[in-house]
Amino acid sequence: MYLEVAMRPTALIRRMLQIEYLQNELTREMRVVKQELRDRGVTVIEVENRPLDVRVHYKVNERHQEALFMTPMLYAEVEGGLRRWLGEIPE
């Protein structure tokens, strides 16, 4: 959780610019990952977000497959990366 500390306007502007940069990098990275999937013949058919996991139905060169990803693990991986960029993140 963020501490309630009065930040200078320039500190808030810096934070805004950092988040904007991060958002642009994530958008770019998403394009790269989607292109890599296409190049490998992978098509994501359905993503089902469930309370404990995420089920992904996909096909690779016409062969249908499924994968399960544990939600707590996905969130932990993302939060670790965000902490490096943003510091403490809200719960």
> pTM here?
0.70
- More confident site: 89 or 72: 72
pLDDT at 13 over 60: yes
- How far is Cα 74 from Cα 53, in angstroms, rounded to an integer? 9
Per-residue pLDDT reduced to its tens digit, 25-74 = 889 999 999 999 999 999 999 999 999 999 999 999 999 999 999 999 99
Q: Where are the domains of the chain?
A: 7-40, 41-85
Task: Determine how β-strand 53-60 pairs with β-strand 42-49.
Answer: antiparallel
pLDDT, position 88 = 61
Only one residue has tokens 């992978």, namely: 42
Distances (CA, A) of 45 to 28, 39, 55, 65: 22, 16, 11, 10
